Structure 1
Amino acid sequence: MKASLAAAPRAALLSLAALALLGGCSATPWQRGGVDAEAACSALMAPVPASAIGLPSGGAVIESATLLPGNALTLTNPLPFIPPPPEAVVQPATPPYCKVVGAIQPVDPKAPSIRFQVNLPSRWNGRSLQLGGGGFNGVLVTATGLPPSARIDQPSPLARGFVTVGTDSGHQDLRVEPLQAFALNDEALENFAHAAYKKVRDLSVELMKRRYGQGPERMYFMGSSEGGREGLAMAQRYPQDFDGIFARAPVINWVGLHTADVRLGLAQRGEGWLSPADVMLVHKAVLSACDALDWRVDGIVGNPQLCGAQFDPASLLCREGKTPACLNAAQVETLRTLHAPYEFSFPLANGVRSYPGWAWGGEGAGGTGPVGGYVSWQTGTAPAAHPVSSTSSRGWLYGSGAIQYFVLRDGTADLSNYKPEDHAQRVGEISRLMDATDPDLSAFRAHGGKLVISEHMADYAQSPYAGIAYYRSVVEKMGQDPVDEFMRLYTTPGADHVGTGAPVGVDMLDTLVTWVESGRAPLDLVQVSLDPVPPFPVLQSRPMCRWPATLRYRGHGEPQRASSYQCVRSAPR
């Protein structure tokens, strides 16, 4: 089989894959047509009045409305030193669709506009999917690709007949100023926090009404990282607006995360900095202590909760002078700091008072290079400094800028002695804007909404325990049985922030649609890693365990198959 595939022309393989994917969704019972698609697309050029958007705005200008033909699936060519999320290794096949690009005008003339792209397929299934952004946004989400964690052997949402929607969140990354500088404008800050996604959602409904003669029957939202936070913000702030939401590795406790990032950066300005070689030392020690806790030695810490109770970083402490085989006392303290909660002396939004420490496992992802694990997110290739540079960790880049521009509103502020309690009022204001920690989802539940959160346990961009803490807060507020009716939390050991390091491919859009529209609640799922070349054979599969279950090898069976593992129900951390 592999030999015949290798001999086949690459273009032919891509065309066959594209036809297979599009063919797989051609029999949906929701399709509508019967109109001149080109004329209907051109008619969308009329401006959208502010009255069609549920929050204050200056209305929307449509810059272009273009009918595009269908395209075959293509393989992307990411930079070799920046591994992409697994779902980003392809640009999926698209059907004929109307691409609408424009901008929602601000109320404050000094605020930037909210750019958007809405893709309306010629054959619609009656549903829409809005995709979240990442980082500090500022880049238009085109919404023509695959959603977070999607299987690359499945059709894109657009190919399935969904209207797809994306935005830049209300500011444009100009590349000549810090990522966070937009937050100096109050309207741009509120747009980034939550308002932009609501405004673009409402605008998309208006465009669907114009194009198809009616609004969507169901609306979905999917996002990862910052986009995951956006999805949770929609469920909490606008519970009537979406029927199904998937939030992967969401930056839930936003203020807590960036405060913890700054704490760790400051802890590494002296002897506490962990070099890439030191990181690999930690990585090997953690694997030695914890790899077998899931009954299989495979380079993945399958039970990070148990590892946290078992591994002591003091085991790496140098007994005499510092050598490559041990850590000094300050470095051991850095490890304790990263894996310990950050405690606030005052409450943040919704009564939250801490940010959880990180899990163990995946420290050395990416090796000694600047990608993945500790090096990418928390230690960098040099100690934290001002101004940030290419040697800085992304935690320091994001965290220091967030505190400077969102809290202090001074991009030159020295954070050496920064203490949140000295700025408690402003920190509280930003927390109420940015943190998606409201545990009362009763209105979303009453609407019939379904919510799935997925945490990657080897994530060093944000602590996976933040999502677990939020889930527990919802259970405490609403009760376990009501929560089971509309909410799920899944964890994936070994996977980093973007989904590399372990199988993460799962058709979560289908999972959401099935739950929302057929009432079939998901249980444990199956995640896959796929060969990134058509026809995308499965390389590995693992169970996707519903919290609080943990993954464990059965002790027999092919290690690459999900059937060789089980989700073990044990006491949660």
Structure 2
Amino acid sequence: MLFALSLVVLSGCARSVEPDAAAVACSALTGKVLSHGIVKQATPVTAGQSMSLAGVDDKVVAPFGFCRIEATLRSEPGSEIQSLYWLPMKPSWNGKFVGLGNGGFGGVIQEAHMFPALRQGFAVAATDMGHPASFPQNLAPMNGKWAYQQPVKVLDWAYRANHLTAATGKELIDAHFGQKPKRSYFHGCSDGGREALMQAGRYPDDYDGIIAGAPAAAFTDLMAHAQWNNRQAVPTQLTEEKLDRLHAEVLDRCDALDGAKDGLLESPSACRFDPEVLSCKPGDDPKRCLTGAEVEAVRATYRGPRTADGQQLSAGFSPGSEYKEGWSLWITGPTLPLVGTVKSMTGGSLLSTDFFRWMVHADPDWERERFDLDKDLPLARQRLAATINSDQLDMTPFFARNGKLMLYHGWSDAALPPMNTVRYFERLQARHADAATQQLRLFMAPGMGHCMGGPGPSVFDALDAMDRWTEGGPPPEQMVATKFDKDAAGALGQTAKVQRTRPLCAWPKVARWTGQGSIDAAENFSCQTP
């Protein structure tokens, strides 16, 4: 469950610079004793300096000079949290601070997530969440072995690492600039969305505005859902060719329901689709039709898991999410090509197997074949829900200090069911009715995959919308999302071709084509109540 598996930083960016007052002040922070740790290294980075980020075709360059600060923080004995801070040199700093969430189990600092906020002039912070990278390095956030018999590190990952990173960021900003940030925001997606809601619920004073994308809020239940998916779908032969056929059939039957046949479903819940229509018949190409077992697996994936007594555990995945890059990675396979002793698994199976093996059972020999929904889920809830889940937190203190909370989710997410976020948002609305109209918003993105990518527009500036809102503007009613030929490059401000734009509307409104102009241009859509 990652913002994007490819955006893990593999190399640093610092080199020598000509000494000046700002650079000297930056370097002088090295060794500074902090309230919760120490600055290991503070390095000035010059404007135009090359920065190498994994998964990005071309190197990025520093938009202006900034101070790169590496700090080690500790919540208690046995804790060791690595956090990274980028503080723009004056006058490039906008006076504000952004903390960023991680993905999966963390273990790495994802610098590529920091870069867009830096370009906007924010002081930016991120953390490894309290444990080092595990093997294999590029999939460290999917590996949970670090949690084995490590209750201190589990607490740091659950919520303390982000809290201490926020407190330390404000401390460093005060030390470096001689003033505290005038506004502070947090933005995380996937597990970072869980972290965002945890910040709002446990530490309402840390941030003024919080953005939670595709939040893995009920983490225990979502890990059980992923194991259940593995049991339903992986034994079938839902190849990428069959997923292509399935996705095309869904679009053929439901795409035009929103008024524009554009390859995107604005309201997937309105799509009534039964995969039985693709059931193999005499003379059909067996590579493009579905066997009886595959029909049932697809139905189950759309429906979602139920316990033995019929209780719905989680929403199913939405029609439109079955595009091959989504389901094949997270649900059905082909599996991730891993190395060493790690078996090949889908993304969902890998993450959830490590969760149950190392966190729930604390048994190195536990295997996914032993998973029992009706036994393992209650055990996971009993042992970990109060610590790691953020779906039941009371937001009253956060809203009482006029905090703003924005949620978003891609309708084509194949890692975390989007309807879970809709239902959670609606529960928040009901619980905090007085605050909801001015302090709470949800945006659903048609065709957007897990946090970024997918067939629909998925690059949008939630941070700018939050900043305008928190600075006294009206609650955002829409954001414009862009689909690039290379979404990651587009998000980083690199050269990328715009393929289409689309407004994302504040829930429950959806974008409707006006009937005139290109269906690939946002200005030809308006937000309407369905």
| TM norm structure 2 | 0.85
2:359 matched to 1:359?
Answer: no
SS at match of 2:407: strand
Give 2:65's aligned residue: 96
SS at match of 1:355: coil
In structure 1, give the amino acid aligned to 2:315: P
Contact 1:61 1:104 survives alignment (8 Å): yes
Distance 1:314 1:353, change over 3 A: closer
Distance 1:459 1:560, change over 3 A: same
Q: Distance in 2 between matches of 1:107 and 1:281?
A: 54
Give 1:255's aligned residue: 220
Contact 2:114 2:126 survives alignment (8 Å): no
Give 1:20's aligned residue: none
1:456-495 map, 5 Å: 456-479=410-433, 481-495=434-448
Distance 1:45 1:72, change over 3 A: closer
Contact 2:100 2:114 survives alignment (8 Å): no
Give 2:107's aligned residue: 138
Give 2:230's aligned residue: 265
SS at match of 2:44: strand
Give 1:117's aligned residue: 84
RMSD (CA atoms): 3.0
* Structure 1 residue 392, shift from structure 2 partner: 2.2
2:488 matched to 1:521?
Answer: no
Q: Distance in 1 between matches of 2:413 and 2:223?
A: 15
Give 1:408's aligned residue: 361
SS at match of 1:63: strand
Distance 1:461 1:386, change over 3 A: same
Q: Distance in 2 between matches of 1:138 and 1:127?
A: 26
* Structure 1 residue 76, shift from structure 2 partner: 6.6
* Structure 1 residue 296, shift from structure 2 partner: 2.2
Q: Distance in 1 between matches of 2:105 and 2:346?
A: 16
Give 1:43's aligned residue: 28
* Structure 1 residue 343, shift from structure 2 partner: 3.8
Distance 1:237 1:373, change over 3 A: same
Contact 1:303 1:550 survives alignment (8 Å): yes
In structure 2, give the amino acid aligned to 1:550: V
Per-residue CA shift, 1:269-288, capped at 9, x if unaligned?
Answer: 54x34222222221122122
Give 2:162's aligned residue: 197
* Structure 1 residue 77, shift from structure 2 partner: 7.4
Give 1:304's aligned residue: 268
Contact 1:267 1:273 survives alignment (8 Å): no
Specify which of 336, 354, 372 is matched with residue 419 of structure 1. Answer: 372
2:197 matched to 1:244?
Answer: no
Give 1:318's aligned residue: 280
* Structure 1 residue 325, shift from structure 2 partner: 3.7
Give 1:275's aligned residue: 239
Contact 1:127 1:219 survives alignment (8 Å): yes
2:513 matched to 1:563?
Answer: no
Distance 1:389 1:304, change over 3 A: farther
Q: Distance in 1 between matches of 2:257 and 2:342?
A: 38
Contact 1:48 1:203 survives alignment (8 Å): no
Give 2:7's aligned residue: none
In structure 2, give the amino acid aligned to 1:36: A
Specify which of 373, 392, 399 is matched with residue 438 of structure 1. Answer: 392
Q: Distance in 1 between matches of 2:77 and 2:307?
A: 34
Contact 2:409 2:451 survives alignment (8 Å): no
Distance 1:567 1:75, change over 3 A: farther
Higher deviation after alignment, 295-304 or 136-145: 136-145
SS at match of 1:158: helix
Q: Distance in 2 between matches of 1:473 and 1:439?
A: 11
Give 2:14's aligned residue: none
Give 2:509's aligned residue: 549
Q: Distance in 2 between matches of 1:314 and 1:387?
A: 40
Higher deviation after alignment, 534-543 or 40-49: 534-543
* Structure 1 residue 467, shift from structure 2 partner: 0.9
Give 2:37's aligned residue: 60
Distance 1:256 1:90, change over 3 A: farther
SS at match of 1:208: helix
SS at match of 2:255: helix
In structure 2, give the amino acid aligned to 1:61: I
In structure 2, give the amino acid aligned to 1:329: G
| TM norm structure 1 | 0.79
Per-residue CA shift, 1:356-397, capped at 9, x if unaligned?
Answer: 1111104224xxxxxx21111111115999998675211111
Distance 1:45 1:208, change over 3 A: same
SS at match of 2:210: strand
2:472 matched to 1:507?
Answer: no
Distance 1:534 1:157, change over 3 A: closer
1:161-180 map, 5 Å: 161-175=121-135, 179-180=143-144
2:248 matched to 1:284?
Answer: yes
Distance 1:77 1:122, change over 3 A: closer
Q: Distance in 1 between matches of 2:49 and 2:24?
A: 24
Specify which of 185, 189, 198 is matched with residue 233 of structure 1. Answer: 198
Contact 2:338 2:344 survives alignment (8 Å): no
Q: Distance in 2 between matches of 1:218 and 1:165?
A: 14
Per-residue CA shift, 1:18-67, capped at 9, x if unaligned?
Answer: xxxxxxxxxxxxxxxxx932332233224434xx3xxxxxx412211112
Q: How many residues are paired up?
A: 494
In structure 2, give the amino acid aligned to 1:393: T
Specify which of 42, 46, 58 is matched with residue 69 of structure 1. Answer: 46
* Structure 1 residue 303, shift from structure 2 partner: 2.4
Give 2:6's aligned residue: none
* Structure 1 residue 138, shift from structure 2 partner: 0.5
